[in-house]
Amino acid sequence: MATHQLITTPFTASSTADDVLRGVDLAGVRAIVTGASSGLGIETARALTAAGAEATLAVRNTTAGDAVAEMIAGSTGGIRPRVVRLDLADRASVKRFVDVWDGPLHLLINNAGVVTGGLERTREGWELQFATNHLGHFALAIGLHDALTLGAAERDGARIVSVSSTAHMRSGIDFDDLHFERRSYDPQIAYARSKTANSLFAVEASRLWASDGIVANAVNPGGVATGLQRNFTPEQKESLDAAEAAGVFTYKTVEQGAATSIVAAVAPEFAHAGGHYLDDAQEAYTVPDDADLAQHPHGVKEWALDPATARRLWTVSADLLRA
C-alpha cells in the first residue's frame, strides 16, 4: 500500500464548490464538463463559469443543456457556457466532438455517468456502463490530448478530473469478461468496474502525459442524490439505503459533492500531482482489495490505483476503440 505523504487541502466534506473557488480567477481557462445537464455536472459547470472560466457543456440532450446554459448565464451575470452534443456511448459522436474542438483546453472534467438496471449494450456489443463511463471518456481524453497539451503550455499545466465513486470498492477489472459475455449480469458490479476504470485511467494518463504538462486525478464526490439514481432497480435502491444506514456515506448537497471535483480542477496542491484518488477534498488513503467498504468509506482500494493494471486497461481500451 502507498506510504507516501497524502496530499491535503484546507477543504472538508462540508466545503462547497464556491468555497474552493473563493478568490480564484479562472478568466481565460477553457473547460469541458461532460454530463453537465444534470446533478453534479450542472453545479461543476456553474461554479467554474462563476469564477470566470469559459465552459463547454458536453451533453447528450442539447435542449436540456441549453436550459442549463441559460440558468448559468442568469446566475453569473451573463456568461453563457457553450453547449455541444456528446454521446459517450457513440464513438462517432465522440469523434465529432473532438473534431470541432478548436484551440487549447485547460480543464477536462469527465463527470458524466450512467447507471443501468439491467444489461444494455452499445452497437459494438460493449456493456453500456463500462462503454459510457470509461471507454467514452477514454476516447474523449485521447482525442483532446493535443488540445490539453496546448493548454498546459499556456497555463503551466492542464488537468483532467475523472469522477469515480465509492462503488469502485465492489469490484476490480475482470479482463477476461469486460462486457459480461460469460458471467450473469449484475448492474452494481458493472458500475463498480466502470468506476474502478475511471480511477485507473487517471493513474496511466498521468504517467503517460506528465511530460506534456497534463495531470489526471480521480474523485469521489460522495453520496449525492442526483438523476443518476433514476434507473436503479429495487435491489440497487435497497443496497444504497443499507449503505447509508451502515454509515458508508452521508448524503451531501450537490454543491458539496461538486467541491472535490473543483479541488482536483483548481487546487494548487494538485497542479502537478496526478494519479491520485480524492475523497472529501483530500487525497484518500489506500486500503487492501479485501477491505470492507463499510469500514473504509473514504478509502481507495489498491486495485483502483495499481500501475500495472492501469497500463493493461489503457492498452485494452485503446485496442477496443481501434477495432
Query: Mean pLDDT across the chain, nearest whole number?
Result: 93
Annotated catalytic, 277?
no
Question: pLDDT confidence of 293, banded at 50, 70, 90?
Answer: confident
| pLDDT tens figures, 138-183 | 999 999 999 999 999 999 999 999 999 999 999 999 999 999 999 9
Q: Which of 191, 251, 277, 285 is catalytic?
A: 191
Mean pLDDT calculated for residue range 80-90: 98
Cα angle 285-31-311, degrees, rounded to a multiple of 5: 45
State percent of the chain over pLDDT 90: 85
In this prediction the pTM is 0.92
Give residue 2's pLDDT band: very low, low, confident or very high (50, 70, 90). very low
- Which pLDDT score, from 0 to 100, does residue 223 have? 73
Instruction: Supply 87's cell numbers.
Output: 454521446
How far is it, in rounded angstroms, from Cα 314 to Cα 118? 26
Q: Which residues contact 224 (CB under 8 A, 6 or more apart)?
A: 39, 40, 251, 252, 253, 254, 256, 257
Separation CA 318–CA 167 (nearest Å): 24
pLDDT digits (tens, 9 = 90+) for 215-240: 999 999 987 655 444 555 666 566 65
Written as nine digits, the cell of 88 is 459517450
